[in-house]
Chains A and B, each alone.
Chain A
């Protein structure tokens, strides 16, 4: 593979090279969408990408005044705002790529920033919907995303660190933290990790987090990615760091623990007993989604004696026409569900509805009537699938789906003991996972009783007095609400 630094048009030697029209033209050679114009009147040369700049702005503030100016007045015009002088070739090319137009007047080069705002405007997140609370979600523009956070957190204490990833793509990254609340060691650690990434380009924040996590082979996501600004603001106020990647609607926060993936901003907008109930419901959903089908396989393969007599008759009758052992039967049905889910996710919405109807037939009564599966397994598989949808994080939900298959196989081999072995493996694995050096199992291990009030349950606001210990903040108190 070629060294990315050789192909990105900005080698180290360019840092000291004077920007000239020839040098820029050479760098842009082969880019048919790069426009080179000679302005009438002033005779200045203009280089820009029409696809990257706002043409209205360019026409109004640059082309028209410069076309009308004489060559003598040109330099006077260019030395004021909004023009800035380019000092070296590398920064000149970078600015053009960022949406600036370069004006070559004599020996000097000036840049005019007129980036076009592309992509969608702030709108509701499709993957993380809430019933109550703010409905705006992040979009693909870094500025928009930063803007919605700044609007909510109107304090100069919200510090931002500008970073860049991708040797070729040069994608902009902003790391945010609240000074005085966030742990500076984490800021240094995360900044260093992002700077150390050497890759051609990063397309999404979910890809970026995989490049900086401590356990790249883990099944579990280690950074919480969200499309909701209110969630990010809450994380920042809790002493965590947040990172925005240009071009990605997902903003991730760190450090993160496993149980955080089961909380939703909705929990805070409901009364606390309701919020607590919802969290517990999600944790029950977590248990069901990973264990329920496996438990069915275990019981029907090895532990028939566990089924009460009345249920046993129904189950035996239903199972009697199925030619496969429970393990194969369950794997077939789970795979069918996954096929349906994947097809539904990839197809356009209008055709996606067809999948729902076809799926309803496949995993419905027809499969039972054909003797393909037992109806109790259909209930188990369907409940497991529904339970996986209550987990707010799609990435976590996907991880748990894969774990489910592992547990089904273990349960099919060793029954309940296999299931427990599987849970043991998961716990042991999670015990070794860390995020920015903090335990993934916080607040269970290490046990932090006050944090449990804001993870396993959603305590009343008067009880949530301290920021999460996971953030290792020095400024612990966050609420002083009197009862």
Chain B
């Protein structure tokens, strides 16, 4: 009676992994790096991410659903793979830690200027630990509920209609960037998609019936739509030049909302971003746990949860202010983008080599 990881839940999981603290800065990054009508360029980047997902789909088909570890270990010796696993684990833990710490730092700036961010981050890590103690099915169940607790924010959009103007979208395409167009800049924007590559760890939890990649593509499509919606709201609400200087355009738009019984709703709405950040951190930690379990197969998942949460907490000490956290995020997300593209290509090569070897043996 084991529960299946069906495509619907995979879609929501991918959505929640991809949605993290970077979305708060997304409209600014699009304006600064892509320029006027940057949403079109953003769509192009989303298609590149979709292509990357398609590469993973090829790995899934070629590897006949085998896990990334099985594919690698069939060809490469453990002494080559284990250092790679260790480095990747550190990278994934770093991504989880910096995404979480950034979220905490933003919240601290908003509401808790005098509190220690590490104290808040400790509670965050406790939540990561509790979730990491559970199996993937439970993590997915929690992320489904977290999705519902986050998606309602889109319902706030009608509040902006009155002051939203189509005229703020100029007829010029990709003009007005701060430093011109560069690969670095594109990577900056592309980093909002980071997270889809974790679908590679879902291979063992799916079969032909569950239609894993239908879910991954759907999740990516939903997050692209949500991001696009966010960009369009910011671009039509603020002037282009204003978007370029606002640190967190999404929070600034929320500040605008006033209701009869409540003002400054960003204080209430922003904490809900905790859930998507949490799923991001936990799933990257899950990836690290999967890699570590390969090296330490005799240790149970539950026993790894505490050291992993502690490692995330320790990595959280690296950035002390948001600017530093943003730098760490850039570094780790850029690296992860490289990993996201290199991994399927490498795996396809390994599947091919592994396949040949199997044939030779037979």
Residues of A within 8 A of B142 (CB): 427-428, 430-431, 445
B262 to chain A, nearest CB (A): 6
Contact A416 to B267, CB < 8 A, known contacts A439-B3, A445-B145: yes
Q: Give the shortest distance, in Å, between A402 (CB) and chain B (any CB).
A: 18
A472–B148 Cα gap in the complex (Å)? 25
In the complex, the chain A residue whose C-beta lies closest to that of B146 is A427
Q: Using an 8 Å CB-CB cutoff, how does the interface string of B122-161 with A read, 1 for contact, 0 for none?
A: 0110010011001000111110111011000000000000
Task: Scan residues 259-298 of chain B and give those whose CB is less than 8 A from a CB of chain A.
Answer: 260-265, 267-268, 271-272, 274-275, 278
Chain A residues whose C-beta falls within 8 Å of the C-beta of B272 in the assembled complex: 420
What chain A residues lie within 8 Å of B9 (beta carbons)? 445-447
Least Cβ–Cβ distance between A327 and chain B, in angstroms = 15
| Cβ-defined partner of B262 (8 Å) among A308, A420, A437, A447 | A308
When C-beta atoms are compared, the residue in chain B nearest to A420 turns out to be: B271
**Known interface pairs A302-B112, A417-B120, A447-B8; A441-B141 also in contact (CB < 8 Å):** yes
Q: List 9 A-B contacts (CB under 8 A).
A: A306-B268, A308-B263, A416-B111, A421-B123, A441-B141, A444-B144, A444-B148, A445-B9, A445-B141
Question: What is the total number of residues of chain B having a CB less than 8 Å from a CB of chain A?
Answer: 39
B144 touches A303 (CB 8 A): no
Check B138–A427 contact: CB distance below 8 A: no
Q: Is the beta-carbon distance between B271 and A431 smaller than 8 angstroms?
A: no
| CB neighbours of B258 from chain A (8 A) | 308
Residues in chain A near residue B271, CB distance under 8 A: 416-417, 419-420
CA distance in complex: A45, B31 (Å): 101
* One of B1, B131, B140, B265 near A428 (C-beta < 8 A): B131
Task: Kindly state the separation between the CA atoms of A137 and B9 in the bound complex, as whole angstroms.
Answer: 41
Q: Encode contact with A along B50-85: 1 for CB under 8 Å, 0 otherwise.
A: 000000000000000000000000000000000000
Q: Do the beta carbons of B275 and A445 come within 8 Å of each other? A: no
Q: Assuming A306-B264, A415-B111, A445-B145, is B123 touching A431 (CB within 8 A)?
A: no
Residue numbers in B under 8 Å from A445 (CB-CB): 9, 140-142, 144-145
Cβ of B238 under 8 Å from chain A: no
When distances are taken between beta carbons in the complex, the residues of chain B under 8 Å from A185 are: 1
Q: A439-B141, A447-B8 are in contact. Are A424 and B1 (CB under 8 A)?
A: no
Once A432-B134, A444-B148 are accepted as A-B contacts, the answer to whether A420 and B274 lie under 8 Å apart by CB is: yes
Q: Are A427 and B261 touching (Cβ within 8 A)?
A: no
Q: Which listed residue, A302, A311, A428, A438, touches B111 by the CB 8 Å rule?
A: A302
A305 within 8 A of B: yes
Chain B residues lying within 8 Å of A438, measured Cβ to Cβ, are: 1
* Docked complex Cα distance between A414 and B274 (Å): 13
On chain B, the residues within 8 Å of A64 by CB distance are: none
Most interface-central of A414, A424, A437 (chain B CB within 10 A): A424
